[in-house]
Each structure stands twice: as C-alpha cells, then as structure tokens.
Structure 1
C-alpha cells in the first residue's frame, strides 16, 4: 500500500524499480494506491506482473473501508505500507483483517527541522506523530532506508530499534548508464548547452526539504568564479516554486526543466550534481548520481553522509550554508581531476551497496523474516 504511484516521488520510483525483481523472486505482488495518479506508474507495475488497485475514496473512512475490503478479498500473507496516509490507514485495515503488517520508514520525520519548516504547523506535526506512533504499535516489523532513519524513528514512534531492519533503495546500473563523451555531447546538444560550459544539475521536488533555495542563494558566487556556468533544475513544482523562481531570476544562469524522464542522461551531461537537502531519508538522487558516475556535492546531513559514505566519494558541506556550497561547487567544476577520482570511487560504492539485484534480495529476506517473527 502506497499513497500514490505518481512519477515524482522517491518511494514510488523505488517501488516501480523493484517490482520486476520481487515478482521474479516469487513474490505475488498487489499494489494498492490511495490517490488518483493520472499518467503514473500503473503500466509499469502491471507490466512487471503486479496487480494494481486504486482504492482512494472521498473520505478517509471510506478509503479505510475500501482497503479493509481489498485485504479481505486478496488475503495476502503480508501487508507492506509506505508513506504516511498508507501507513495509518493500511495498518488499521490490515490489523482489522487479522493480517500481519510491516511499514517502510523512508524519511526521518517529526524532528526539530520539521517543526521549524516553512509551511508546516508544529501542532499538526505533533498530531500526525501521535497517530503514526499509535498505529505503529501493531506493526510487526519496520523497514528503514538508513540507520539514521531507523534510530530517529524508533525513538519518535516509540518502537524498539530491534524491530527495524535497514535496507536501502536500489537502481539497475544498466538503466542508469555511465558518463561517456558521446552521451554527454548528445544531451548537451539536445538542451542547447555549450559543450565546454560548466553545468551543475539538481533534481528534486521544489519543496523546503530539498534546499533548492540554498543552492540558488549560492549560485551568484559560482557565477562570479565561472561566468559561463549553467544551473539546471529538474523536478516538479511545489510549495517553494514562487520563491525559487524569484531567486533564479535574481541570480541568472538558471534553467528550470520541470519533471523529466531523462534525469540519468542529464546527470551524465553535468559536471556536478548538487543535493542541498535540509534532511533526507536516504538521498535517492545522490545514490543514482553515484551509479551514473557524476561528481557529487551534498549537504552533510546524516542520511546523505550514510549513503555517500565520506568525502572520499563526494564533497560534503554544512546544510543551509550557501557560501560553503558555492565553494564546493566551484572546486568541483574547476578541479575536474579530483572530482573524477571521487566520482569513480562513488560508482564503485554504488555497485557494492545499491544495485537493484542486491536490494531486492534484501527486501525478500525482510518479508520472510517478518512472516517468521512476531513483534518483539
């Protein structure tokens, strides 16, 4: 069960990437989603061998009833919920149907950074935490994307850390491809970019969490050092769009690309990939950039450091510090030899930790343990 199967979210992309591997591993996969997702991943999920059900209704009560009915009809061995609405309603539906339920913890939530985030009401955050924590008590086991998320959410949901397994997301290295001169030249030509221009890419939803405003505040300093540099921003609009547009107009040298299906190609055409997030659960875009082999510049927040590893693999800078971010980007595009060494090491790390085959096998193991073990 997942909130949606739209093409813009990391959880949704992770599901559609893993679905074929799960089915090939012998998992009979049903996917239930709560929100209408026109143009979403339904065809890919069906093509992978999953049965897909849209169960969203006009109210939460009706959606809960639809979920409960689906569980009773399909009679799964295990219900796996992902994202807040599906966690809360899916746990309730599964437990009422006497079906074991597990949940994914894909982000650290309910911390100080969320209470202070623009556009979030502190009391609503605490109310959501209370509901999440109450429904979590009946959950058999949890899957977290990183050790950081596991530790933070064990405390915030009041569940034993021992009930949380850590399995990252994975990607198919064949699908990602690698950086080659031919790929770089073709993508730049299609975008109308000079072949020798320093290009920085960020790919993220335009939300406060992603820190794109920090990147745009850093960009004028990058342009002073590299006047021909171009910043590409790929991703869907969000609550920060108006602010980001204003910052981009003031800075110059910025192109908004909107949602893209060719982000891996964009990575291969870039000199640096920026991940300026205020917090992350894993940092899927950073992990993908590691797989492609593009030099990384990341905010030094716990989950990103855990994913990236260390400064042997990426430039890590303090979060929400535009001057430090600008300096790291300038260093990356100017000292290309060192940047290539880090990118090569990062790709090797990706191949040992984040391939889709490895991660899918770990998830099947998580399901098998969850069926064997009762709540600790």
Structure 2
C-alpha cells in the first residue's frame, strides 16, 4: 500500500524537547517505521523549516521524508503556519498527480486542511489523527490560546469530511462527539512505546539500591500545561524526596527559558529549591536509564491529548502518578499500574506519592503490572496493527475500478 503521512510541523527527523516537538513527532516516526517494515511504501510530508534540508531524506527501513516548501524555510511556531497550508496542499496535489497514494494519513488539524486540498482532485481517502483538539486547548488556556480563530471550525469540517478519524484515546471520542463528529466516524488506536528501548533492566524484579532520597521524575516538553508547577507544590508535602524535571532546552540554556525560570521561582517560594533539579534536554538514549532510576514518575498536566510518558515509565516497570485527564485514563490503570489524581490538585499528587513511597511492595507490583499492560496493548506493533486495519477498510471503499480488457 502506498501511504502518505502528512505532518506539517512535526517532522520525524526533529530533535525532541522543543515547544513544538514532542509526542506527535514520535508517533509519526515510529508508525512510519513500523509500516515501512511491513512492506508499505511510506512518504512523510513535512514543512521545510531550513534552507539546509534536502528535498527528500531516506529513513531507516525504507520510508522517505519529503520537505514541502510552504512559507519561509525557517522555524515558525506551529500556530503561525495556518496561512501557508493552501500552498502546502497545492504541493501535495502536484506530488500525488505524479504518484498517487492509496491513502493519506493527516496528523494535526492543519495537516488535515492541506491533505484535503491535495487529495480532493485525485479522490484519495484521508484518515485524520488530530493529536490535540482546539476545543480542549481553548477550554483550558482561554486567552492564552494562540491557535488561529478558524481552528475549531476547520477541525469540525475535517472530522465530518474525512473518511475516518483515528483517535488516540476514548476521551477524544467524547470530545469529537461534542463537536458534532459522531462516534461511528471514529476509530480508537492509541499511541505506543518502544518496549526494547524502554525496559526494566536486566532484573525487573530486583529492588533498586536505596538512595539518599526517594527520586521523583517528571519529563516532557517544558511548557506550562504539563503541570510541573503542581509537581513542585506536591514536593513540599513529600519528605525525603527529590524531583528531577527533564525536558526543555539544553541545560546551558535553562537560565533564559521563561518556563524554567517560573518553575525555579516557585521552587524557591515553596522552600524546595534544594530538592528540585532541572535537567534540561536529555538525550533519547539516556531516558530509559533515567526512568529506571526513579521511584515514581509524575505526569501532572492540566490536560493531555494522550501522553507518552506514562507508557515509557510503565515499560520501564516504574509506577506512575498521573492526572486523571485525556489519554491517561486509557493508559494508567488506577490501583494497578499507578494512581490517577484530579488535575490541578497538588495535595492529591502528594498523598498518592507518599502512599506509594511508603510501600515498596506495592511499587514493585505496580511496575510489573505496568510492563505487562504495555506489552499487551501499547507496543508500536499493536498500534500499526490497528492503523493498518483502518487503512484497509478505508482503501477498499476507494479502490479504482479496473479496466476491462
């Protein structure tokens, strides 16, 4: 099957940790890799954001990344890319006129907009993954939401007009229904995790050596909605523990990062600055060991469309304390692989963390159950299985009639 992945701002080649580089990049990269491994012809179309980039970049396994000229060839915040989507779509139309894809999988709403423009003339079916919804972002960010005004209306049009919406969690199905997109139009296929990269270590049953302090870890993009402030406030109620925050710019640039500065001021005000360590960007190769060295991983966003960090922690057999939002409700089994707590409630975070830190046996049991849950439901192979099923159902309905001799 010839598959076109359209991901206008989230390139599979991007370095993770920036404001606009996170879970979507990982999703596109790993799904592309797995589909190519299965023999599919996969091209990822993403925006050219540098003059140094070649037109096409081969990926390991046989897929290709194609850089689309749309807007200036420089870094542009994703919320400012909207005016360039018609040009992006026109490029896709020309590319698919030369070599028609069997299916288009659009990632994020602006990719959906461009994909509809590109696919329309060729009758190519479009599958849409939003990764995040404008209604949710506006609800939580209010006036701080920098999305274009047109976003929510266009998302509704895409949801109703595409062949299939591929949601990453059940919470998204409910949000789409509130927008007017019926559940019968939606299939749920979650994000995944690399279980060979993220693993418990040589002996998953062995207890880690006791450290001077319990270690709590929070990681991801260094943006306000990730709720690191709640983790810091919770730390004030968790004695004999330190908090490591991994993510954001390189360590040498943390001093000038606004969110890092805000969190450090909060740590000083709450009296825990000596127990908070901000690590900055951590190389992907080093993340599993960092997670395995933690007693608990804290995932405390105010909202989270899916959230890959809980899966990474569970794959490493580390229990999770996560806010009861979005994809966390599907990934974290409350009372089995971790604890779900109300968003924005630092007291509840602290209480759950203290309970688990006091019970080493429970932590080990949660860790073992977390690894088993990931292996059963959240490997990239499982994600590709579900995605392939959607592609095939959609493609069958759009097969071109064969010429009769």
Equivalent residue for 2:227? 211
The equivalences for 1:12-23 within 5 A come to 12-23=25-36
Q: 1:132 to 1:51 in 2, by over 3 A?
A: same
Alignment TM-score, normalising by the size of structure 1: 0.86
Distance 2:58 2:207 in 1: 33
Alpha carbons 1:32, 1:54 under 8 Å: kept:
yes
The offset of 1:242, in angstroms, is 3.5
Answer 1 or 2: which has greater helix percent.
1
Shift of residue 165 of structure 1? Answer: 0.8
Match of 2:76 in 1: none
Answering whether residue 325 of structure 2 is matched by residue 292 of structure 1, we say no
1:84 pairs with 86, 105, 109, which one? 109
Consecutive unaligned residues in structure 2, runs of 5 or more = 1-5, 17-21, 72-82, 250-256, 399-405
Counterpart among 10, 23, 27 of residue 4 in structure 1: 10
Task: Return the alpha-carbon distance in structure 2 between the equivalents of residues 248 and 293 of structure 1.
Answer: 29
CA contact (8 A) 1:287 1:350 kept: yes
Distance 1:85 1:108, change over 3 A: closer
> What RMSD, in angstroms, separates the aligned Cα atoms of the two structures?
2.9
Q: Alignment partner for residue 328 of structure 2, among 276, 283, 304?
A: 304
Question: 1:116-148: per-residue Cα shift (whole Å, max 9, x none)?
Answer: 4166349x5653101222233321111111111
Distance 1:312 1:185, change over 3 A: closer
Q: Secondary structure at the match of 2:236?
A: helix
Q: CA 1:74 to 1:243, structure 2 compared with 1: closer, same or farther past 3 Å?
A: farther
Structure 1 residues 220 and 242, CA gap change in structure 2 (3 angstroms): same
Q: SS of 1:165's equivalent?
A: strand
| Secondary structure of the structure 1 residue equivalent to 2:31 | helix
**What TM-score do the two structures reach when normalised by structure 2?**
0.80
Per-residue deviation, 1:212: 1.3
Contact kept, 8 Å, 1:234 with 1:263, in 2: the verdict is: no
TM alignment of 1:146-225, pairs within 5 A: 146-156=169-179, 158-179=180-201, 195-222=211-238, 225=239
Supply the distance in 2 between the matched residues of 1:43 and 1:285 (Cα, whole angstroms). 30
| Rounded Cα–Cα distance in structure 2 between residues aligned with 1:54 and 1:283 | 27
Residues paired across the two proteins, number: 359
What is the SS of the residue equivalent to 2:306? coil
Separation in 1, partners of 2:201, 2:351: 24
Answer whether contact 2:322 2:340 (CA < 8 A) is retained.
Answer: yes
The structure-2 alpha-carbon separation of the partners of 1:73 and 1:44, relative to structure 1 and needing over 3 Å to count, comes to closer
- CA, structure 1 residues 325+179, in 2 after alignment: closer, same or farther (shift >3 Å)? farther
Q: Deviations over 1:197-237 (max 9, x none)?
A: 31111111122321112112222222xx21xx221111125
Alpha-carbon distance change, 152 to 118 in structure 1, aligned in 2, over 3 angstroms: closer
1:324 aligns with 2:348: yes
- Name stretches of at least 5 consecutive residues in structure 1 with no aligned partner: 189-193
- Note if contact 1:104-1:144 (Cα within 8 Å) is conserved in structure 2: yes
CA contact (8 A) 2:169 2:326 kept: no
Aligned counterpart, 2:91: 66
